[in-house]
Structure 1
Amino acid sequence: MDLKAAGEKHLIQLNELDKFRMKTYENSRLYKELTKKWHDLHIQRREFEVGQKVLSYNSRLKLFLGKLRSRWSSPYTVTKVLPYGAIEVSNETKGTFTINGQRLKYY
């Protein structure tokens, strides 16, 4: 066995492994960018104003859903528009609470 040749071969393999790892990181970064771009394109931007009527999406109905039952609950009135997409809504029976604007649609 030639120890010097084995050592050089081992260093070459380590360099190839580093190149492979860097290529994997680059591919992962590109995939994440494309996934983010696709996700951002499919987000529906909605602008809400105070006094507007909206419906709220009830995700819990997915578990116990009847065939024709609506997932959108009763109309709420927008009382305040908060930063970063948060909306404060109120209803006569359920009171006032804050909800993500992505879970609302126009009534």
Structure 2
Amino acid sequence: MGEEESLKERYIQLVKLEEKRLIAQQSLEAIQKRRKERHDKNLKTYVIQEGDLVLVYDSKYYKFPGKLQTRWAGPFKVVELNSNGSMQIQDLGEECAPVKVNALRVKPYFK
């Protein structure tokens, strides 16, 4: 094989390799999209507005769960909703909490 032929052959191999990488990337993205849709389908979404009562998940018992340990603290009143998915809460004694809480860590409180 001459020098030009070997360069053309190598170029063809590189093009085929790039095509295989592109196909693998598209396949991986499709798999990840399906996996995300399946996961998101199982998430519970609550509509929480300002003034609602909520319970907050207490993660300190995450690694050592006891049978009778309560994992939800509250009820708390929602004072402010933020666009990034967090909320400012206050207990029923009208004292504001020192930190904002992620909306995924709360669930509605029903009397």
TM > 0.5 fold call: yes
Q: Distance in 2 between matches of 1:67 and 1:105?
A: 21
SS in 1 for 2:64: coil
- Which residue number corresponds to residue 80 of structure 1? 80
Identity among equivalent positions (%) equals 25
- Which residue number corresponds to residue 3 of structure 1? 2
Deviation at 1:90, TM superposition (A): 0.7
- Which residue number corresponds to residue 40 of structure 2? 40
Deviation sequence 1:41-60 (CA, Å, 0-9, x none): 22322122333221101223
Q: Rate the CA distance shift 1:75–1:45 in 2: closer, same or farther, 3 A.
A: same
Match of 1:98 among 93, 97, 100: 100
TM-score w.r.t. the length of structure 1 is 0.78
Deviation sequence 1:38-84 (CA, Å, 0-9, x none): 23322322122333221101223112322331211131111222223
SS in 2 for 1:83: coil
Q: How does 1:9-88 map to 2 (within 5 A)?
A: 9-88=9-88
Name the structure where strand makes up a greater proportion of residues.
1
Name the structure where helix makes up a greater proportion of residues.
1
Q: Distance in 2 between matches of 1:79 and 1:9?
A: 68
More deviation, 26-35/91-100: 91-100
Q: Rate the CA distance shift 1:50–1:16 in 2: closer, same or farther, 3 A.
A: closer
Unmatched 5+ residue regions in structure 1? none
Paired residues, what number?
A: 106
